[in-house]
Amino acid sequence: MPETIPLKVALGPSGVFFAESVHAEQFHMEPRREEFHKLLYLQRGRAALETEGRSAVAASPGTMWIVPAGTTHRLIDEEPTVILLLCVAEALLTRDEEMREVWRALARGGRSALLLGPQAAAETERLWRRVLHEQCLERPGMKAVVKAEALRLLTTLGRIPRRGTADTALSRVDQFLRELEDSFFEPWNLDLAAERSGLSRRHFTLLFKERTGETFVTRLTRLRLQQVERLLSSRRHSVTGAAFAAGFEDLSHFYRIFRQAHGCSPGRWQEKPSEQR
C-alpha cells in the first residue's frame, strides 16, 4: 500500500537498512534529523529534497540524495514517487579507515545529490532488488550480504567523477576518460558515453577526438586489449576468460582485432617469451 508518511527505520545490530517506499499522492514529510546516514534514490516520479531549511529544485528519476547523519531534511513530492532508501549507522563506517575515506569522498564538499547515468542507475536498482530479496528470506549470512552490498554501493557512488565549478564540455570528457580507465570492461558504447558526459553524440565524438587523438571505439578497444595482455601474461587465465574479463563479449570479434593488433592469435601470443611480444 502506498505510504502517506515516511517509513519507520530500525537499523538493528547490522547497522544497515534497505527499503523501498512507494508514496501516495497524500505523502507528507515533516523536517527531521536522523542519527544515521541516509541515501535516497528517486526511482520513479519527481521530488525535491530540502536540507537544513534550504529549498531544492525538483529532481527526476536517477537522482541519489546523500543525507549525512544529523542533517535536517525533508522530502517534498511533486508527484507520487518511488524512493529506494539505504540507512547506514555511523559506527559501521568508523570501524574501518578505508570506509571512512569512502564516505568522506561521497559526502565531501557538502554535495547532496548525484545524477546517475543509465548504466549506474540500472545497477543500483538491481542491487536494491537483490538486497530486499535477501532481507525477506533471512537466510544464514543475510546480514553479511546486506552489509557488503551497502559498502559496495557507497564505494561505487564515491568513485563517480564529480563536476567541479569549471563545468565545461571538455571537462566532462576529461572526467569520462578517467571513469573509462576504471570501467572499460563494462558494456560501454558511444551513446552511453555521450549520455554519461551530458553531451550529444556528435559533440562528444568531436571533443573526444580532440582530447585523445583517437575515436571512442579505438580508445575502448585499446584499453580492453591491454587488459587481455595483462591477464594472458600472468598465465593464470585462458584466452576466453581473459577476453570476457576485459569486456569482449563477441569472441569472433575479439580474435579478429587481436590478430590485427599483434599479427597472431591470442594463444600464440601467450606462448611467446615476453621479450618477443
72 and 152 share a domain? yes
pLDDT at site 111: 54
Task: Say if residue 197 is in the same domain as residue 228.
Answer: no
Domain shared by 22 and 136, yes or no: yes
Q: Looking at the structure, tell me whether residues 138 and 252 fall in a common domain.
A: no
Task: Find where cell 549520455 sits.
Answer: 195
Q: Is the confidence at residue 2, as pLDDT, over 90?
A: no
Domain identity same for 144 and 48:
yes
Which are the contacts of 245, defined by CB distance < 8 A and separation ≥ 6? 185, 227, 231, 237
pLDDT of residue 164: 45
Q: Return the pLDDT at 165.
A: 41
Tally of structural domains, the chain: 3
How far apart, in whole angstroms, are the C-alpha atoms of residue 69 and residue 73?
10
Same domain, 110 and 133: yes
Last residue of a domain, one of 158, 185, 202: 158
Taking residue 113's Cβ as centre, other Cβ atoms within 10 Å add up to: 16
On average, the pLDDT of the chain sits at 86
Sign of the alpha-carbon torsion through 76, 78, 82, 83: negative
How many CB atoms sit inside 10 A of residue 179's CB?
Answer: 19
Are 212 and 219 in contact by the 8 Å Cβ rule? The answer is yes
Do 187 and 82 lie in one domain? The reply is no
Q: Please indicate, yes or no, whether residues 227 and 138 belong to a single structural domain of this protein.
A: no
User: Which residues are 30's β-sheet partners?
Assistant: none
Residue 9 lies in a domain: no
Judge whether 38 lies within some domain.
yes
In this structure, is residue 186 part of a structural domain? yes
CB-neighbour burial class of residue 167 (10 A; exposed 0-12, middle 13-18, buried 19+) = exposed
Give per-residue pLDDT as tens, 112-134. Answer: 778 776 667 888 888 898 888 88
Mean pLDDT confidence for 76-100: 87
Q: What is the pLDDT of residue 166?
A: 46
Q: Quote the radius of gyration of the chain (alpha carbons, Å).
A: 22
Give the closest residue to 116 by CA, choosing from 55, 42, 17. Answer: 42
% of the chain exceeding 90 in pLDDT: 41
pLDDT single digits (tens) 133-182: 888 887 888 888 888 888 888 888 877 655 444 457 888 888 789 888 88
Q: Based on the fold, state whether residues 32 and 88 are members of the same structural domain.
A: yes
Q: What is the CATH number for 121?
A: 2.60.120.280
- Does residue 65 sit in the same domain as residue 181? no
> Are 30 and 152 part of one and the same domain?
yes
* Domain limits for position 265: 218-276
Task: Give domain status of residue 1, yes or no.
Answer: no
Q: Are 135 and 234 part of one and the same domain?
A: no
The CATH number of the domain where 230 resides is what?
Answer: 1.10.10
Burial 57-79 (b: 16+ CB within 10 A, else e): eebebbbbbbbbeebebbbebee
Q: Which of 190, 198, 211, 199 is nearest to 162 (CA)?
A: 198
**Residue 202 belongs to a domain:** yes
- 177 within domain boundaries: yes
8 is a domain residue: no
Considering the domain boundaries, does residue 32 fall inside one?
Answer: yes
